[in-house]
Every structure is written in structure tokens, then in C-alpha cells.
Structure 1
């Protein structure tokens, strides 16, 4: 068969579209009524309007959106309003009058009205340069007429042009009727709050205002009222926003990221970080932290503290503002784009931002990572906005540009690409560092309050001494007796103050040890991973091809890796416990259970029976939980060494934890049936550099400083540690007493 016989017909055709496409665009690209209104407000902004009014008519039959922008001529109406996915933004990236960066994209805003109502009357008044006059264009859209089965190019929209319009009338009015939903003033009020949150950067000014982009631009305001009525909407947010405890300003300029922190009553701090590659573009942002602390929201004019907290629960979060308009859903009540709620739920103790990981502990090393994560701000405690300038899909001209920040098609969020992940890392990092700073400032404030308390007490004592000395009503003998008593009190106050100071220094010293241990744990993890990789490589040799010596080396290495893991677990347990929280009362039984679990693999393999005999309801006095657990970890590992060093007798290897409260003391004991401590050793065990360890394994890392440090720390917080008589079947019992 010839080629000519195979061809039946050959011609050209065009793409066609069903009129139902407009309904699809309106419903799929514009998700909610407040997003639809926001898109229409953006159109007013792009038209260089200085104000946009939105209201419901008297009989609730129509929704009206009116602006005082430059309007549309007939040519613009045909070329832009009546053209789907217009490229006008590409040709005119800035507005004609005030050079504003155009916000509309793909022409989807005009189809937002399809989501709001079935009939639209459009009135737009513009200046016609060729006629040197203002004219009015009126067009009517009956969306129900755009039925499925009819070609879009066959649908006609009637319009007319009227002369005799004036410059004062310039602008566009959309009258939407046959509303999809019944609108009331109350419903409009509810939607208005969401719209205003999108229309401008929240909290920095009235949420319905956008400042002018230059000296000539008068700015842009939104009013949910007819022209001449109402005023730009204000909110309780402004007053709450000023009640911050700390704030951070975020700037990305080129590849340089800068965090600038301002802490109320504290010092300012600046951190810089060089990005390997800037995917987000230049950004600016400000976040304010309003924690749930006494006095932060007291004495407000717009709301009491309880209502203010309720408002924060509903509105707290960090928004993203894209080219002056907020990008939903970031910062909405149910949105957790930074993972703050998730981190709180799982009590995360690890950095999630690589920026924080790079900056700490390179900066101030007074705090460990696990402490900071306990201080991580919650979503309901932060207010702020990150300003970005995203790329629209029609601007993406190369594969490289596709890695930049881009809105998703439905206007609900950004495409989750590398640029978006970098934005998350930058913002999350600012909050993780805020947790560090709060911890540092908290420690400073404690010292300051202690000094103020001492000064006040000293002043009172001095006044009392002066009063006694100058009183004529007190006999000489009685006067001297009173003065002696006051001076005794003065000495006790000074001793108490010094004891408090030493206790704080002891805790801080333990925290510094935690930093070193955290660093060493990190390095040890890398070494351990290398050892595991080596072991896996060896195991790839089939068993039949292994010599006895090679198999012995594999088993020996497996044992070493297991011991190494237990040692690493010990270090991590120390870091986690020594750096947790401030002084508080807590139940010690769960803390002891956690310590036991950390060493379970080691103790089970060596058949060590560990008993937690502490009553569940028992509570400690107010003490640093890290200090408490750090002391027990040291005593527990000493007990493990003692029972491993001893041969297994009839009773096996046993360790027991006990605790009790008396009228004056909280007592906690670690008891074992190991080799025991001789009479000679008992006199030296608390000396520095003295060690009785003679057993190999992951807990035998002692340098003779463990018990010495424990004794110093316990005594500096007013406690005592000693060897006490052990129960039957046990050899050694260490008892720590903390004053109640």
C-alpha cells in the first residue's frame, strides 16, 4: 500500500475549551471566600487604588467591592479581564501610577467572583487618552449561562460604554449578586478578620493598611464599610504585640543571614550566618515572643489577660507575607509549618534547623542544646511575619529558577521545594536561638534578683540597727542584746547569700560539663558509626570463607561496639539530665526508671538485677532535676562497676534505689552487693583523683573525680552525701540528703 493511500485527511485544528472551565477555575484555584476576597483586593492594589471598600447592601442580596484605582479602558477590559491566564504581569510587572509590584497572577482573581455569586455587574471608570475624557464601562456576567457543553469562545458577555464620567468616579466596582452563601454583617465581620490578615503584614500597623512603596505612593487601605463610613479595622493584636519579652529581626541580604535579638531588660545580640546558596531571595521579618509569664499581659486596655491569652491561642503564629499580602495557611490556627506544636508534643531536644546547629555551641557556650529545646517558644506564644518576594510560575525561565520560592496553584501556600525548606530552616532557627537567649537571660535575672534581695535585706538590717542605737526607750543592756542579735542575723544573711551563689555556680559548672560532654558525644557518635560501617564491611565476607582468627576479630569488634554504645548512652544521659530545667519539685521514681533504661543492655548482659524501690508518689524538694539525676547516674555507674568486679555469688548481682522523706531531709540511696569499700578506702573515696576502679568496660571511664564532684555539688546546694549502713545481702550504700 502506498503512502498516499494511507492518508485520509490532513489539515490543522485549534485547542478549544468548555465554558465550564470558568467554574473549574473559580472553584479549584480559589479555595475559600476570604481568599477570593483577598484576590479581588489585590486587583484593586494593582490598579493603584488608595482605598478599597467592601460591604453588603441593605437587603443582604449583593456583595459590593469598590476601589478608587485607575479603572480599565475598553481595550484593557478585552485584553486582560476577558483573557484567561493573561500575561499582563509579565509585560507590566509594576503598576502604572505608583510603581507597585503587581500582585495578581494568571488572572485568577476575576474568577474569584464565581465562588462568591452567580451574577456580576462590573462598572469601571477610566481615562481614555485618545478621547481625552473619562468613560464608564458596564459589563454583566451570568455565570449560570456558562454551562457545560458550550465552547468558551462561543459565550458572549454584553457590555456598554457611557460618556460623561468624571475623574472623581475613577475606579472599579464589582456588584456580586445571587450569592452562593447567605451573607450577614456578622459573617462579613468574621471573614473580614481573615481577609485583613491576608491583605497586609499583621501587627506592624493597622492590619488593613499598606504603607506606600515610595514617597509618591500614599498607601492602600481596606474598609469593610461603604465609602465615607467606617475606618481601617484595628485589632487587639497591636497591644499584645507590644507586650513582648523578646523579639528577633531577621534579614537575608544576598547570602548573609542576620538575626538581631532584643530582650526586654536584657542585652541585644546579633548572629550572622553565611548561606551556601540563597534560594529564598532577600527577606525581612520580625517575630515577637509573648510567653505565659506573670505580668506580661497585665493591665491591657483592649482586653484582660484571660481574653488576651485566648486571642493568642487562636491567632498566635508566624505569617508569611508575599509581596505585601499574606500567604495562607502559614500562621493559621491549625497550621504548624515550623513544627513548634509537634516539637512540644514529643518534647524534642534536638536542633531541627541546620543554621542553629552551625551557630551553637560556636557562640555562647553557657547553655546546651537540650536546655534550649526545653525553652523553645510555642506557637501560641509568638506573633510575627516573614516578608518574601516569591517567583510566579510564568517567571520561571530555567531549571535553576524552579528551585526558588513559588506559590502553589491554589494560592494556599508555597510549592514545597528546596527554597521553601530553606525558609523553614531560617525561621525555625531564629526561634531555637531565642530559646538559648531566654535561658541565658533567665540565669542573669536570677542572679540579679538574688543581689537585689540581699541588698534589700541588708538595708533593712542597717535601718534596724540604727533604730535600736538611737532609741531612748530601750535600756543599755537590752539595746546591746538586740544589736548582737541583729548582727547575728546580718552574718547569717551574708552566709546564706554566699551559699546561694555557690549553688548557682555549681549548677553552672555542671552545665559547662554538659556542653563538653555533648561535644564529645557528638564526636563519639561519628567514631561509632565508622566502627559499625567497618564491621558491616567485614560481615560481607561469607562465613565459610572466614578463618577462625577473622571470626574471632569480628566477635571482638562486635563486643567493643556494644560497649562503646553503652558508654555513649551514658554520656547522652548525663547531658540530657544535667541540662534540664530549673529548680522544681518532681517525682524521682520516673527519673530513676529512665536512668535504669539507659544502661539496660549493659546490665542485662551481665545479669545485674536492678530494683527501683522508690514509692511512686514520693516527691523531691525544689532542686535542679539535672543535678539530681546527674548525681544518681554517677552513683549508679559506680555500683555497676562494683557488682561487675565481684564474682557472681548465690544472690547474684544486685543494685537497688531507695528514697524517703523525713521532716528535715529528702534521702535517696544507691545500694549494691558488689566488692564493697574497705575501711581504709572509706576515708579517701571523696578525695579528688582517687579511684577504686579496676574493671574494664564502658562504665570504667573514671578519673577519680566522680565522687569528688558529686560531693562538691551536693554540699553547695545545702545537701550531704555519705556512706551509710547497707541492708542485709548488700555491701555498699551511698546516701544523698537534700534539705526540705
Structure 2
């Protein structure tokens, strides 16, 4: 038999088989076709389900770049094409391609029996129409024997449209929504004109799904960004500044109460005077959707979707003359200081970037008030830009406070409601028993016939009434004593903090005095020995820096509102402030201080004195300093904070050190008052003596924890550490409730 040259043949049924295997679900198939529009740099896509002459149709229309004849044949018509592999990013906006390689044609086959694809590329005079009858691709027919048709077509706009007929499946609204949700990651909330600092930047991608139930009915919007996201947000805040600088704001679509009409906003100058009009702002407008991210206020599916989208896209974006200005509103950019306002907790209403979804537009055609940096990254801090930030942050803060009031929530930090204790329950039970006894005595007095018995019953009722009154007074006194006890605990905490500060500054001043005494007395004699002179000077400089950081930390703490009232505390911020306060002191003692707190600050406690949190950290730190000194090895400390999982997750802080550890025999007594091995040393004594404590510090830490509804304990340390304390406090509810 002579040698023959053969080649593989392809059965036309492979199209159907691949379509079923690669895109089994109808939602997946439709999503792949929309992703192809995204890859073609479309900014708008319309998906439309309709019925014409009894035939179910699906149309996908985009305003992308379209395809030339060459691109159509090399891409759509060639199986296993590597076009997307060769060009991993789109041509115009450099998008990372979302569609899977070579799936588009199979997705179209999966959805219906017939396809008409019409496309026109930029620069092409005519449009092209490709007609494919998928039913012709039947078993027993060679693939190359099945014809598809390409012909000229009429299309004035650039882009591509697909019409798929004889649909293989019915489409419910829920299926359409599921398909849209798979595309949400591709969509940007506010597609506008290209970014001014980079005209080739992506202006956004929007998809709308419509449905026509019958030939004579109008198109009905099934799902888009507005219906799926924006309509679920709780309020719309609007701000306007007219051509003379008069500013107003209002609250629309308020789900917590009535809408509020336009109201003036006045500018507060540095001198504290209100100015009715903004001097530098003209023709500014803002729309910001607002949401409280509380699972009880949104359907569970909607809550997850909104939370995720706002986590990526939340904030206020800035547009000048219709063009986007970066980086304002980008992830991580807090140009209005909303995160700072929320962290300060002067307001309890949620006011972080993740609570807003908005756009501010400014008109400055002559570029007089809002000028870009030479790097074209952001705007220069002109008076107009400063006023803009002041205005918007003020308006958003005022509006969110009003919305919080509508919800019946506290808007300012204040005293927390003390949870009922066991003593409260006993008082209530006793009061109730006395009331029942008094009513019984009155009933006996009414029913008894003899005067003596009636008189005795009345006296019994009067005595019981007097006892009940006394119990109420005792209950009031007990409550007052509880407040006084809390204040005494706070004063003890403040005293401990002050004592630690006095100890540190005392040693520092002593060292400074000795160094400068030496320097001034021996400067002339030893100036020639420059090395020794420099050593002492550097030591003095380091001591002063140490004093400065410690003084600054305590002064900030003493000046804070935490000395006057309790409020929710950002544990992440408290740890950061503490780290800055002791950084130089730790460095001077060769201590490696590691801080581990989340970048996204959600670690807010229920109301507590901020000084108590600082005191806890300082107590752990001073104990750890003593421990690492005694340990003799590498001096390391770790402070970490996180929120425990679960609905009522607490804020948990771990403070670990590499010191000499806690003996097993002492672990059960470590939090007892006055448990120590020695008396407290004076500030003049040696470091070894300062390794010993008075035994009150950890007891106070336990009091702070337990009286705040939390706890403190010794836990197993992580690798590389010998001791680890866990301090936990109840977390503030997500919307600021206490």
C-alpha cells in the first residue's frame, strides 16, 4: 500500500458540542458577549429581549471600536484564534480583557439558533453584517462545507450589534439580574468624559438590560446600576453654589424621614466669622448618594453587593468642566477628610468614604480658580480649592447628622448607657415585692371590719410605702456611687499615666542636667577631644527628643475630650498615637516595636474614656520594658489589633514581648491588686530596681476591661515572643450605636 498524506476533518457538530461544554449556562453565555463589548472599549451596552412575529430575539448593542473585515475574519471566524493572547489589553483604554479567549462565537450559538452580527469600525466607510445559521452545523456535515454569509450593511455609528433569534431558553427577570451581577466588576459608577489629565483613561462601562414582553409593549428596564445599586442607597445629598458664591444643600430620597429643602451654607473664616457667600467658589454642584452599611437596613444580597462596590468605588469624585480629575475619589484617596472626621468621632453618624457614592462638578472654563499641578496629578491648593473642601465636608457632615437624627441615633459622643447589673435586678425585684405587699395591705384594710384591724393594715401599707421610697433613694445613691467609682478608676488611671510620665521625664531631666553640666564645665578642656564631645552632645539631643515625644503624647491625651466625656475610640488610631509617643524611647532602649493594625480602620469601641485605652497600652508597655530588660535577649514587642468574627465581634488587642515571661505560679494572680515581688522604686534608683512594680497596673487594666464589658487575660504568645496579653472591648455598632 502506497503512503498517503491525510489531514484531520472537523464535523460541523463540534460547534454545538463546544458551545454546550464551554458555556453550559445561558447567563454565562450572555455575560461573555457583553464582556466582548467591554474588550472592544465600549462605554455603553444595551441588552434587549423582545418578541417579533412570534420569534424571541436577543439584541446586544455596544458603542465600542467595532471590527474591520480583517478583524472579523481573524477573530470571530477563526476557531482557536490567539488574538486576545497577543493583545492582552484593549486598544483604546488599555483595559485588561475580561472575555475568555474564543468563547464569543460559542456563546452566541448557545443562546440561539441564528446570529446576525453588524459592525462598523472607525475609519471604515461601510458596515458589515455576518449571518450565521447555527442549525446548519449538524452532525455528518464537514465544518468547511457549512457557509456563513458576509454582506454590506447600514450602520451610521461605530460599534457592534448582535441579534440572536430563535432563543434556546426562556429568560426570567431573576436570570437577567444574575447575569448583570456577574458584570458589576466591569462597571464604574459615574461614567463621564475622559479624565482631563489623561484623555486615554477609561471613562467607564455601563450595561442596561431591557425587556419587551409583547410586540405592542414598550421596553421595560430590568436592571442597571441605578436599579441594582443606587436605588437601594438611603439618601441623596445635593450641594449647589451659584454664580455669586451662595451655597445651598438639601437632602433628597431620605429613607429615614422627610426630604429636606434647599438650605444655605455659610463659610466660617479663620477668625470665626460667618461669610454668607463663598469668595472664590462659583458654579459648583454635587450629588452624593449616602448609605448606612448596616445589614438590618438593606436586604442581605443587596447589602453584600453595596458594601463590596462602595469598598472599591466609594467616595466623592471631582470633575472640572466635564472632565474627571484624578486622584480625587480614587480608592484610598480621602481628599475631603471624611475618614478623619469619622476617626475623630466628634460625630457618631457614619461619614467615611465608604458611605458615599458621589460626584462634584465645577465650572472653571478659563482655569482661573482650579489649576492643576505641573505633574497633572491633582489640583493646586488655591483658595477656591480650600473653600471647596471646606464646603463639601461641612455639608456632608451636617447632612449625615440630620439623617442620624431621623433614624433616632445619637449624633454626638456622650455618656454611654450603663447595662443593668445584678444589683439593679435585685433592687427591681425588691421594689416589685414591696409594691405587691403594699397593695395587699390596702386591700386588707378595705375588707377588714374592725377599726383596730383597719388601722393596723393602714400603718402596714404606710410603712411599706416608706420602705419603698427609701429603696428608691438607695438605688439613686448606688447609681451615684457607681459613677463616682468609675471616676475614681479614671483618676487612678490618669494618676498611673502621670506617674509613668513623671518617672520617664525625671530620668530624662537628670540625664540632660548631668550631660549639660559635663559639657559646659569641660567644654574648653575637652573640646580638642572632639569624639567624646560629640558623643555627649548626641546623647543630650537624643534625651531631649525622647522627652519631646513623651511630653507631646501626654499633652495630647490630657487635652483630648476623653478627660471630659466618654466616646467611641478608634483602637487603630490609639495604637498609632501610642507608637508615635514611645517610638524614640523604645529605640533608645534597643526595642524593636512592631505594630499590626488593619489599613481599613473599623476598630471602634463602644464609648470609653480615651485615656483609659492609652493607660492600658502604656501599662503593658512599661511592664514589657521591664520584662525585656530582665530577659537579656533580643528586645521585641508586638502590638496588634483586630475585630473578632461574628455579629457581636469585639475589638481585640494583643500586646506581646520577648522578655523573661510570667511564671506559671503567678499567672492566676497577675491581675490581683498589689500582687508584686517588691516595693516601687524611686526615680533615682537603678534600672534593675525599676524592673519591679507596685502591683496596681494590671489590676487597673482588669478594672477598665471589666467595667467596659470586656476582659483581659494572658494568652499563648506567637512564635518569637514569651508573653502575650489579650485586651478585648465591645465594638461599636457599624452605624455608631452604643
Which TM-score bucket, shorter chain as reference?
Answer: 0.3 to 0.5
TM-score of the superposed pair, with normalisation by structure 2 = 0.39
